[in-house]
Structure 1
């Protein structure tokens, strides 16, 4: 029999520091439990043990503490966010049916040593899993150790048997105790011999075999005089350290190895725990379902509606209901409406096309108070059919996003797992097989019932949470109206000029071909420029350029590395340009040509409303937010986005330095507010103050340096980063930041106040109440905590700016409709809005766009937007 024994505290602790911050929607930290289970499952797969035992420390003092009160005295207490996860992991292990051991007066190491000894004596193999090298002394007699380590952010599993240990250390595993007796262990506060380090201790063991061997040969010439003096003075400390470092393999543990029970999981309890922790992948891995668990959703029956008369009778009955919970796929091939505790399911194949369209028009006509999950694709699909979706009063996906904007997704099964502790059955109403009379319609109906019941339960919890968290206005006046606007923009799309796009691609091809030849000539050979391995060999071995540290996969040739050596050889700037041009060609030219709709010749991007933690919009298929603007060739791409004909123009307006204006308003810095109010160039005005020169004497270099600080300051820019950005020493950059903050004391105060507030409250908000939790601020890891501080400073600024552009979109669209204009919003890119307008509306639309953007939110540093018009996006910019 093979027994796997796990050091529970060691693996949990390592998981806590090795796995990024995770929490469920309750705010409960879960990263340590997640990492622990990931390690457990991986090693169970690899080792295939017959039995698994997990050992934990207890809070009571052990026999070591009773004899030496200094033992482990320097250890810091367990962080609170780890402490709350310890009972959770024990609950999960108990639900899995695994044996869990604790014993007052003994450490987990002693229990592990005792179990491994007993196992070996009975002829069983034992695998010890730990992150603590102390347990390596247990190797031998049938026991191996799987040592879990973390290196460069990766978890590694090293297997040590006797041969592997000897190869690494040069002596038997049991002599690890002697090594610690000589050199000590600061982590456990084991003193060893004062003044004897690892190198000396290793040599002594190689020469004399053991601690006793060392002290039996103190006069040996191989021991230098200085070491001899330390050994003589520290003998008692060495003997005490030996005792402290020795794992007790004879602990009075009431555990019969011969009758260890096989794991018999309590599937209902385990399912409930893992759903609460929101570990959907682990639920799938263990093949769990909610059938045995106590139901968290009210039972809902399913009924099929098959005639138009029944459908309209249902809609009549639901009219006037407080809320109507609905499911609808993007294909609009089925509908599910919750009527009391019955899910009424309609399949489009059961109806004539005109009847189905009439049902859709009635359902979304505004008479019913609808609640959907992720409604935007449905709204867009209805618009494509010429139906304007009205009556959507709540979108549960949007609500879940606002409440916790850092989750990786907001699909209904994921949100139901978080809010209802329920794993929903698979359901894809967009799949023809699911709604076809020849498919599994009965199974689909039952799944619909659970899904629509989840929508109701999620609504009830999230609607209340939005009120409690102060996000009612943000939700109902900004995000929900914006959802409709984004659907309209996606449906309308934007016109492009494919022939110009192809010509631009041909132009890039010519330059790429020329660069390729020049690079080959510089290298003296032809090679794959796109291969980091081959490129690294050419640059750092053949040409001898200053090389970064070589890794297992070769030299790094990323852009940061190449930019540092750009002046060392002509090949490097050519490679950098080659990369930019090939990316322009593949990502944008070829990428955009692929997504031009054959129906209308336009590009229909998909705006993502629930992705970024700051509230900014993003877009996919294609991503129009990332069209490069810093190079002239990149800006050329904007020429390809055009008005559809000579009777229309594009109108572009963007906010001038919106984030800095928000910073001025929030920080109430008088100097910065004054600069914006008087219309000064903020970067030049900053330079004049920082460099103590009149405004007219500010040089372009001065302005550029201050621009870097202005934009970097609320991202927590470091002196190191600023030094790289503006080409000064780190010391000069640090002084520059100090002077900057002295110039804008309101900004300096804001930065300190917001960090303190975030630590006290656990979150930050925008001026509109958008909230972001920051558990990172409680981390003991400096890098994680520093990241949290940067986010705390930046989120209120960037998030407020994102809220303002969203408000502007709502205002612009509503006014265009209200005034009966034909101009329409077609694009939003960061702080920029683009309209497609008939030429006769050009002036009115430009004025409207500017007015509504500037009036979106009154600030002490007023919003400024400039509108321009042209045939292409480039011309209008």
Structure 2
């Protein structure tokens, strides 16, 4: 009889792991709820059950920390950050899921999960069980034995690692797993605030274990140590023994292993599914059904024409066949996927009579969803493989395209009347991509547009907007993944063209069908959220503007970048030498670990250096920036990092991003990334070129006009965010300064420092400027003192005086926070909403961030809305006037144009007029303009 197995899950370790794995792309459902922690834990739980099919399983939770450890060392875990709000909210929901699944929860007040797991593991071992401790926490290695194992989820979903005795021996360089306690006690743990022996790190601890075998033997034989290490160890013997005690997992807690309690039993399926539906966990719901019932949640079959018609008729879709009995040259693929009782009927349209009849019907429609399938992700180089159409739920058509370019062009000509019809609404998901693909075939998409990605962005800006997520969330439907057809990224990935036609049809028409259904769902929601006009009048027209800009691209001077790269190499080498000299040795400056040792152990630049969660010294930007004013080596390190990043990210990378056909760089503007409404730039990102340094500014020199008949023209809103906050707050003093055309920073300095404006010093103006812009982002006295030469008390006094000078500004900020608390969102001047789910959080840090967003989002978002209006109006004028001048780039408050020199005076006047009159505020909008042979000169 095979040995029975018990799996014990360390709840918080898995919850935190899941939460932080998704921290850059959190899972937010349509209610604005962050479900990352819950999803991460449930994925880990299901993975164990699927892989291992355990006999017995339980989940252990910490509750109120470790009373015993805090009693002997009150500082135990004292430096841990407060638990994130999303995790605190997640825990009771996770426990509800476990209860519904009839999985036992082990929890005792004042006892940690590792002690509970340690106790039960040892008891189960005595009863003949193999126990697997499911946790990423390495401390559990001390418990490993012949029948107790660590079951560690690997990073990025790459399976699991099982640590038995040999793995622990190798990992910690010990003879017995129990010696891991000595290792941990010697080394200490910054995360748990276990002090350890001063000066003993990983290598030294392993050396001591090899030499002495235990903490006790080390402390009894300090005469064998030398120098400072001997002094440190002898002076801290009590600390060493305390640390070992703190690191020891208890195996005698008040908990008993009862095998019958831990048997994996039949869950309350209905209750679990209800919780998953509430959380909008579609895929996990499907997984749950598969795991516990063995049923498949989706089946796909390709059938003959006659069978397809029969099945479609049975599904209530028999009347759908567009071609009746005449469609002899049509291949019909009924892709019937039984997911939540939905049925699909998809057809492939072949040339001849079928195509003619299809187009006749297509042109009769008022609203049609279409979706292009191509050979690649870059619309400027990709070729059409097919186009799918849908105008009725569950039904649609697919037109495959020939590979020969002339034949593909002939086919697109047949479809031109549809795409260029002004009366048929075109629906799509990320329509900008399709518009750019069709532009290669000289087809312009006209008429009203409805982009489901943009619509959802306005409805729920903080959620993800890709079609799979939207289908699962709003339609309770899981689409076929493209990787199922062409494989994952890499050299073995196939072209969509190589996929059989029937599968192309299933995949492509499903996308069009789902997108059509999403439109039906989102249209009323846009009205309900009062964002329909923003969608119709701003985001959709802008989509076409951005497509035109991206197709146009901008010229790049590769030779200049090559010379700049050489100059940067020289600068970086000089900084390296200076850093090595100041450090007294050579080391890897790019290694945070080595850098931390140099700065904080060798040079001892600070008394109590900040550490990361892994116990390393933190050398993050904010940490070093704070120290840079006092230490030349740190300023050199920051400069080194800046130049190295500039070189790798822009100077060396930009030439490789030039399109071979156009010889230009084509950035991709994304409308659905920043929740404030700002555009994002990608591949390459032209919005983040650092311009505060001389070398950073020089990168802009590489962007040049198309030829000698053109010049680059840059038009930049002057202090638009300050103008907006002045207008929104109705702060008369500030409004008056703008109306008079005064230097707003000098004007502010004159008022807060109580001096005539003509007597304002450069330093006073600089400090006032920092406050002016910092107030928008909720700058504190601490933050202001870091950014200026002011002390913290001087900074506080300056901020207090600022608010007394501009009282309506402070009232406005307070009103915004109050509005957000009551309504859950704030709005821009055009009604763009920023939802703030944490505005009433009990966590002061989380709540403070939401309060700052409540003030900042309407200002930054209104600036984004205004420049979008200007872009739409300018593009319209350029097109109507048949100008050769083209709009190329948008960088936050700046627009860059390739201006035809003979049109320059005319277009400058037009651009300035359109930008300054894009939206009427109580404060005038002002635009600075410049021209030049490159972007730097123009700016």
- TM-score relative to the length of structure 2: 0.71
**Of 321, 325, 337, the match for 2:369:** 325
Where does 1:557-636 land on structure 2 (aligned, <5 Å)? 557-566=619-628, 570-636=632-698
**Structure 1's 371 and 862: CA in aligned 2 closer, same or farther, altered over 3 A?**
same
> C-alpha offsets along residues 596-618 of structure 1, whole Å, 9 cap, x if unaligned?
22222211111111111111111
1:643 shift after superposition:
1.0
Task: Give the corresponding residue for 1:291.
Answer: 298
Task: Give the corresponding residue for 1:499.
Answer: 559
Where does 1:173-188 land on structure 2 (aligned, <5 Å)? none
The answer to whether the 8 Å contact 1:30/1:277 transfers is no
Give the distance between the partners of 1:645 and 1:261, measured in 2 at CA. Answer: 73
- Unpaired segments of 5 or more residues in structure 1? 58-77, 132-137, 149-156, 171-244
> C-alpha offsets along residues 815-874 of structure 1, whole Å, 9 cap, x if unaligned?
111222221110000100011121110001111110000111000111111222222112
**Of 329, 338, 351, the match for 2:390:** 338
**Structure 1's 502 and 423: CA in aligned 2 closer, same or farther, altered over 3 A?**
same
Give the distance between the partners of 1:90 and 1:658, measured in 2 at CA. Answer: 49
Task: Give the corresponding residue for 1:824.
Answer: 886
1:269 shift after superposition:
7.2
**Structure 1's 361 and 553: CA in aligned 2 closer, same or farther, altered over 3 A?**
farther
Give the distance between the partners of 1:393 and 1:609, measured in 2 at CA. Answer: 15
Task: Give the corresponding residue for 2:865.
Answer: 803
Task: Give the corresponding residue for 1:477.
Answer: 537
Where does 1:643-792 land on structure 2 (aligned, <5 Å)? 643-792=705-854
**Of 1, 23, 28, the match for 2:28:** 23
**Structure 1's 841 and 287: CA in aligned 2 closer, same or farther, altered over 3 A?**
farther
Give the distance between the partners of 2:639 and 2:61, measured in 1 at CA. Answer: 57
Give the distance between the partners of 2:705 and 2:779, measured in 1 at CA. Answer: 40
Where does 1:94-113 land on structure 2 (aligned, <5 Å)? 98-99=102-103
The answer to whether the 8 Å contact 2:32/2:462 transfers is no
- Give 3-state SS (helix, strand or coil) of 1:778's partner: coil
1:685 shift after superposition:
1.1
Asked whether 1:391 is paired with 2:447, we answer: yes
Task: Give the corresponding residue for 2:214.
Answer: none
1:811 shift after superposition:
0.9
> C-alpha offsets along residues 104-127 of structure 1, whole Å, 9 cap, x if unaligned?
xxx999x99999999789655677
**Of 300, 305, 315, the match for 2:359:** 315
Asked whether 1:371 is paired with 2:427, we answer: yes
Asked whether 1:415 is paired with 2:418, we answer: no
Give the distance between the partners of 1:598 and 1:127, measured in 2 at CA. Answer: 55
What is the number of equivalent residue pairs in this alignment? 765
The answer to whether the 8 Å contact 1:54/1:98 transfers is no
1:713 shift after superposition:
0.9
The answer to whether the 8 Å contact 2:7/2:58 transfers is yes
- Give 3-state SS (helix, strand or coil) of 1:835's partner: strand
Tell which deviates more after alignment, 854-863 or 548-557. 548-557
Asked whether 1:34 is paired with 2:39, we answer: yes
**Structure 1's 722 and 4: CA in aligned 2 closer, same or farther, altered over 3 A?**
same
**Of 441, 445, 468, the match for 2:505:** 445
Give the distance between the partners of 1:422 and 1:562, measured in 2 at CA. Answer: 48
Where does 1:66-105 land on structure 2 (aligned, <5 Å)? 89=94, 92-93=97-98, 98-99=102-103
The answer to whether the 8 Å contact 1:276/1:421 transfers is no
Tell me the C-alpha RMSD between the 2 structures: 4.7
Task: Give the corresponding residue for 2:413.
Answer: 358
The answer to whether the 8 Å contact 2:486/2:499 transfers is no
Tell which deviates more after alignment, 24-33 or 375-384. 24-33
**Structure 1's 7 and 870: CA in aligned 2 closer, same or farther, altered over 3 A?**
closer
- Give 3-state SS (helix, strand or coil) of 2:653's partner: helix
**Of 489, 510, 522, the match for 1:462:** 522
Give the distance between the partners of 1:264 and 1:609, measured in 2 at CA. Answer: 43
The answer to whether the 8 Å contact 1:274/1:283 transfers is no
Give the distance between the partners of 1:419 and 1:313, measured in 2 at CA. Answer: 33
- Unpaired segments of 5 or more residues in structure 2? 63-82, 137-142, 154-161, 169-175, 186-251, 300-336, 374-378, 488-492
1:488 shift after superposition:
0.7
Tell which deviates more after alignment, 762-771 or 498-507. 498-507
Tell which deviates more after alignment, 274-283 or 349-358. 274-283
The answer to whether the 8 Å contact 1:130/1:146 transfers is yes
Give the distance between the partners of 2:570 and 2:118, measured in 1 at CA. Answer: 70
Task: Give the corresponding residue for 1:401.
Answer: 457
1:671 shift after superposition:
1.4
- Give 3-state SS (helix, strand or coil) of 2:810's partner: helix
The answer to whether the 8 Å contact 2:716/2:928 transfers is yes
1:309 shift after superposition:
4.5
**Structure 1's 628 and 703: CA in aligned 2 closer, same or farther, altered over 3 A?**
same
Give the distance between the partners of 2:123 and 2:631, measured in 1 at CA. Answer: 66
The answer to whether the 8 Å contact 2:596/2:619 transfers is yes
The answer to whether the 8 Å contact 2:54/2:264 transfers is no
1:267 shift after superposition:
11
1:709 shift after superposition:
1.1
> C-alpha offsets along residues 384-440 of structure 1, whole Å, 9 cap, x if unaligned?
332222235201111111111123x4221122112112111123799995654x632
Give the distance between the partners of 1:672 and 1:371, measured in 2 at CA. Answer: 45
Give the distance between the partners of 1:713 and 1:789, measured in 2 at CA. Answer: 13
**Structure 1's 144 and 595: CA in aligned 2 closer, same or farther, altered over 3 A?**
closer
> C-alpha offsets along residues 361-394 of structure 1, whole Å, 9 cap, x if unaligned?
2331125321011111111122233222223520
The answer to whether the 8 Å contact 1:435/1:441 transfers is no
- TM-score relative to the length of structure 1: 0.76
Give the distance between the partners of 1:513 and 1:286, measured in 2 at CA. Answer: 60
The answer to whether the 8 Å contact 2:346/2:396 transfers is yes
Give the distance between the partners of 1:118 and 1:570, measured in 2 at CA. Answer: 58
Asked whether 1:349 is paired with 2:402, we answer: yes
Asked whether 1:872 is paired with 2:927, we answer: no
Give the distance between the partners of 1:56 and 1:5, measured in 2 at CA. Answer: 11
1:23 shift after superposition:
3.3
The answer to whether the 8 Å contact 1:401/1:610 transfers is yes
- Give 3-state SS (helix, strand or coil) of 1:797's partner: helix
The answer to whether the 8 Å contact 2:560/2:702 transfers is yes
> C-alpha offsets along residues 174-212 of structure 1, whole Å, 9 cap, x if unaligned?
xxxxxxxxxxxxxxxxxxxxxxxxxxxxxxxxxxxxxxx
Task: Give the corresponding residue for 2:239.
Answer: none
1:515 shift after superposition:
3.6
> C-alpha offsets along residues 620-655 of structure 1, whole Å, 9 cap, x if unaligned?
111100111112222122221111111111111010
Give the distance between the partners of 1:539 and 1:739, measured in 2 at CA. Answer: 38
Tell which deviates more after alignment, 418-427 or 9-18. 9-18
The answer to whether the 8 Å contact 1:274/1:280 transfers is no
- Give 3-state SS (helix, strand or coil) of 1:333's partner: strand
**Structure 1's 339 and 559: CA in aligned 2 closer, same or farther, altered over 3 A?**
closer
**Structure 1's 433 and 576: CA in aligned 2 closer, same or farther, altered over 3 A?**
closer
1:84 shift after superposition:
8.3
Task: Give the corresponding residue for 2:6.
Answer: 3
Give the distance between the partners of 1:858 and 1:491, measured in 2 at CA. Answer: 31
- Give 3-state SS (helix, strand or coil) of 1:307's partner: coil
